[in-house]
Amino acid sequence: MVISAVFAAKGLWLIFPFAGLEIAAFAYATYVVMDVGYRCEVVSIDGDEVLVQKGRQRRGKSQRGGPESSASFPLGWARIEFVKSAGWYPGQLLISASGKTVELGEFLPEEEKAELADALEAMLAKR
């Protein structure tokens, strides 16, 4: 805005609408990136089921948050599968049972997905 004000002082006032559009685009992009940063997934093993909840973290008292979707799998039938990347496509970490499949850690890098797969398989093997 400072640069726009300098140009406007020199008589080039038409720069203000474009500077406003640029600031609005930057603010919107910042909001989108921050919103995506609050995504979370909770995997809990309780009793005889594995529960996967996907949603957003709460950002404050008045902000939305909590689980947006959930899936439940029988503990004895739940299987973890890590499909490695092929070309441009990132790897996938899948949990499945009884014909139902859910992808875990969509926002994680491939190395962390592999670590998570190992940790989940170890937890399922203990039960």
Q: Given this model, what pLDDT does residue 51 score? A: 92
Q: Tell me the DSSP string of 44-104.
A: EEETTEEEEEEEE---SSSS--EEEEEEEEETTT-EEEEE--BTTBPPEEEEEETTEEEEE
Q: How confident is the model at residue 37 (pLDDT cuts 50, 70, 90)?
A: confident
> Is the pLDDT reported for residue 46 higher than 80?
yes
Q: Please indicate, yes or no, whether residues 58 and 94 belong to a single structural domain of this protein.
A: yes
Q: Please indicate, yes or no, whether residues 30 and 45 belong to a single structural domain of this protein.
A: no
Q: Tell me the DSSP string of 19-47.
A: HHHHHHHHHHHHHHHHHHHTEEEEEEEET
Q: Given this model, what pLDDT does residue 2 score? A: 86
Instruction: State how far the Cα of 102 lies from the Cα of 72, in Å rounded to an integer.
Output: 10
Q: Given this model, what pLDDT does residue 126 score? A: 79
Which amino acid, residue 111? E
Residue 45, domain CATH: 2.30.29.30
Residue 87: count other Cβ atoms within 10 Å of its Cβ.
Answer: 4
Q: Please indicate, yes or no, whether residues 77 and 108 belong to a single structural domain of this protein.
A: yes
Which residue in the block uniquely carries the two structure tokens 């004000």?
5
Render pLDDT for 77-103 as a digit per residue (tens, 0 to 9): 999 999 887 788 888 999 999 889 999
Render pLDDT for 14-24 as a digit per residue (tens, 0 to 9): 998 999 999 99
In terms of residue numbers, what domain contains 9?
A: 2-35
Instruction: State how far the Cα of 124 lies from the Cα of 45, in Å rounded to an integer.
Output: 8
Q: Please indicate, yes or no, whether residues 27 and 8 belong to a single structural domain of this protein.
A: yes
